[in-house]
A and B are shown apart, each in its own frame.
Chain A
């Protein structure tokens, strides 16, 4: 068996052929590839460069894969290239590797400009907002149809959702809000001490925690815990075909899966907010007693004097809207999942980011509205 060799044979100005001879083995693929590159580099658009296989005694799959790849590349460059004079055994291998099929010419994609990218991102953000609003509309419709047929909802999921999103989140919410109250009080103490206004730390912590930080921090924790969990659960069900299965049983995922989650969060987040308020005030109390020489009774009396029912209830009102936003975004993202495990991860991340943005936006809107309305 003679060793492999290649030679360029030019039959006319625009037509040439690479003649292969001997045994073409993958063991010599590197040298063969270098030699082929050397020979084919002179071929230009409009020319023909065939692979003449008449002298091939034997060829293995690895070399055929290389030749198929080279032929594809040549054709994409506009150089006509075919396998010619191949014996039956070689022809079989050519067919096996698809090297006798025509090659689609790829047109290079134009790079996307900055403005184009910005436009696409804007359209995508608007579309997401549209989807969330449409989802909200569907939820409202489902709510009305539930009124007529209350049995059709999956009420058995409600206690479990409340336990997972509410009771299980109590320790982390207490801890985080206690630390936030503590840190805020420390920062305030340094300033207030200079003016001898130690007692005002109770006013500051009481109002800030009840109106802003308590509801917001509780919502952020729930968005990270329950929002992400909802999106991942529903996303997995979507990619696993469970949502389709529900639909084919005539069970709408909105009523069966979304309503218990939305209701569950709406019921537990206000309660968690009240606990967050208490924990935040306790954080401030610790600093007041140990750092500002206040008495426990003095701190609590001042807090009770300055914090009105409205301060607490405005936070609770906010928390209701926060709960709706978290559940809505998480469920919408979960049900919009596609593309397997990667899609679930993408939607879960998107849920957390979108929800945090929405929470800050809603909180700011409420604050401005309450201020303008004089509340």
Chain B
């Protein structure tokens, strides 16, 4: 069995003196679609920002054995899709996808253009290369952001709330895209979401964060957790019910 792609040990995160997650440890295996889930405000997106090296807490995070902050101003070892897509507004979709290639490869402009077009085709955005981000729908923006995140052929992609704000059809299409990229290209995904349909469809492993206990309250296959967890909070989340009122 190969070594885990991401290892997190005793990680404590928070901001303004407020702890969101205390002493969390988990691993993400190669080839997984690893879902970070939990209710609103439990620190899912903040945890992802720590994993990708944009914020720092106490504890240890390694991606392929190295700390993630080495990705900043060096060739990144992973791709990231932010919730809003975060495409650069002054560049066209094609230029957005080409940007990391221009920065980190010595390829000529025509080759970079070709790769950008291929990536856009892969995510189903044929013909959108000359559009500006503001001309795209929410789903198209997220697809374009995935294409940009994949530009440098990373083995690992982080997706923050990929289905948030999308209509059901676009959300399903995005889930299918994640599965295709995972199964056919072997890309490992770390997905932050609380969309149950998406979790069951794409997730191969998950951790569930809890706001009250500031800890990971469940880990494993999301379908198994749904069917057999004895934790009332986990059952309430997966069955979309509220927690029983404390006496």
Interface residues of A (CB under 8 A from B): 95, 100, 152, 236-237, 240-242, 244-252, 255
Q: Are A241 and B76 in contact (CB under 8 A)?
A: no
B236 at interface by CB-CB < 8 Å: no
Question: Known contacts A100-B245, A240-B89; is A250 also within 8 Å of B104 by CB?
Answer: yes
Q: Are A248 and B245 in contact (CB under 8 A)?
A: no
The interface stretch among B79-87, B112-120, B173-181, B195-203 is B79-87
User: Of residues 102 to 128 in B, which have CB atoms within 8 Å of A's CB atoms?
Assistant: 103-104
Q: Are B75 and A250 in contact (CB under 8 A)?
A: yes
Q: Are A250 and B86 in contact (CB under 8 A)?
A: no
Q: Are B103 and A251 in contact (CB under 8 A)?
A: yes
Q: Are B86 and A152 in contact (CB under 8 A)?
A: no
Q: Are B82 and A152 in contact (CB under 8 A)?
A: no
In the complex, A246 Cα to B91 Cα: how many Å?
Answer: 13
Chain B residues with Cβ under 8 A from A100's Cβ?
245
Q: Are A241 and B75 in contact (CB under 8 A)?
A: no
CB distance from A72 to the nearest CB of B (A): 18
Chain A residues with Cβ under 8 A from B9's Cβ?
none
User: Of residues 31 to 66 in B, which have CB atoms within 8 Å of A's CB atoms?
Assistant: 49, 52-54
User: Of residues 141 to 169 in B, which have CB atoms within 8 Å of A's CB atoms?
Assistant: 145, 148, 152
Nearest CB to that of B49 among chain A residues? A244
**A/B interface sample: 17 pairs, CB < 8 A:** A95-B245, A100-B245, A240-B84, A241-B84, A244-B54, A245-B82, A245-B145, A245-B148, A247-B73, A248-B53, A248-B54, A248-B76, A248-B80, A249-B76, A250-B75, A250-B76, A252-B73
B100 at interface by CB-CB < 8 Å: yes
Q: Which of A242, A250, A255 interacts with B88 by CB under 8 Å?
A: A242
Q: Are A250 and B73 in contact (CB under 8 A)?
A: yes
**The 10 residue pairs across chains A and B that have the minimum distance between CB atoms:** A241-B86, A245-B86, A248-B80, A250-B76, A252-B73, A241-B82, A249-B100, A242-B86, A250-B75, A250-B74
In the complex, A365 Cα to B83 Cα: how many Å?
Answer: 48
Q: Are A237 and B76 in contact (CB under 8 A)?
A: no
Chain A residues with Cβ under 8 A from B73's Cβ?
247, 250-252, 255
CB distance from B159 to the nearest CB of A (A): 12
Nearest CB to that of B82 among chain A residues? A241
Nearest CB to that of A255 among chain B residues? B73
Chain B residues with Cβ under 8 A from A244's Cβ?
49, 54, 80, 82, 86
Q: Are B245 and A249 in contact (CB under 8 A)?
A: no
CB distance from B98 to the nearest CB of A (A): 11
Question: Known contacts A241-B82, A241-B84; is A251 also within 8 Å of B100 by CB?
Answer: yes
B72 at interface by CB-CB < 8 Å: yes
B71 at interface by CB-CB < 8 Å: yes
**How many residues on B have C-beta within 8 angstroms of the other chain's C-beta atoms?**
28
CB distance from B152 to the nearest CB of A (A): 8
In the complex, A35 Cα to B177 Cα: how many Å?
Answer: 62
B11 at interface by CB-CB < 8 Å: no
B99 at interface by CB-CB < 8 Å: yes
Nearest CB to that of B102 among chain A residues? A151
CB distance from B136 to the nearest CB of A (A): 14
Task: Tell me which of A236, A245, A246, A247 has the highest count of chain B C-beta atoms within 10 A of its own C-beta.
Answer: A245
In the complex, A336 Cα to B245 Cα: how many Å?
Answer: 43
Q: Are A242 and B54 in contact (CB under 8 A)?
A: no
In the complex, A168 Cα to B87 Cα: how many Å?
Answer: 27
Chain A residues with Cβ under 8 A from B78's Cβ?
248
CB distance from A108 to the nearest CB of B (A): 21
Nearest CB to that of A253 among chain B residues? B73
Q: Are A250 and B89 in contact (CB under 8 A)?
A: no
Chain A residues with Cβ under 8 A from B52's Cβ?
248
Q: Which of B49, B83, B87, B99 interacts with A251 by CB under 8 Å?
A: B99
Question: Known contacts A249-B76, A250-B74, A250-B76; is A237 also within 8 Å of B88 by CB?
Answer: yes
CB distance from B92 to the nearest CB of A (A): 13
Q: Which of B83, B100, B148 interacts with A250 by CB under 8 Å?
A: B100
Question: Known contacts A152-B103, A240-B89, A245-B88; is A250 also within 8 Å of B71 by CB?
Answer: yes
Task: Tell me which of B73, B74, B76, B99 has the highest count of chain A C-beta atoms within 10 A of its own C-beta.
Answer: B73
Chain B residues with Cβ under 8 A from A248's Cβ?
52-54, 71, 76, 78-80
Chain A residues with Cβ under 8 A from B75's Cβ?
250
In the complex, A335 Cα to B79 Cα: how many Å?
Answer: 22
Chain A residues with Cβ under 8 A from B88's Cβ?
237, 242, 245-246
CB distance from B132 to the nearest CB of A (A): 13
Nearest CB to that of A92 among chain B residues? B245
Q: Which of B49, B87, B104 interacts with A242 by CB under 8 Å?
A: B87
In the complex, A157 Cα to B148 Cα: how many Å?
Answer: 20
CB distance from B67 to the nearest CB of A (A): 14
Task: Tell me which of A244, A247, A248 has the highest count of chain B C-beta atoms within 10 A of its own C-beta.
Answer: A248
In the complex, A241 Cα to B53 Cα: how many Å?
Answer: 14
- Beyond A248-B52, A248-B80, list 18 extra A-B contacts (CB 8 Å): A152-B103, A240-B86, A241-B82, A241-B83, A241-B86, A242-B86, A244-B54, A244-B82, A245-B80, A247-B54, A248-B71, A249-B103, A250-B72, A250-B74, A250-B103, A250-B104, A252-B73, A255-B73
CB distance from B80 to the nearest CB of A (A): 4
CB distance from B122 to the nearest CB of A (A): 18
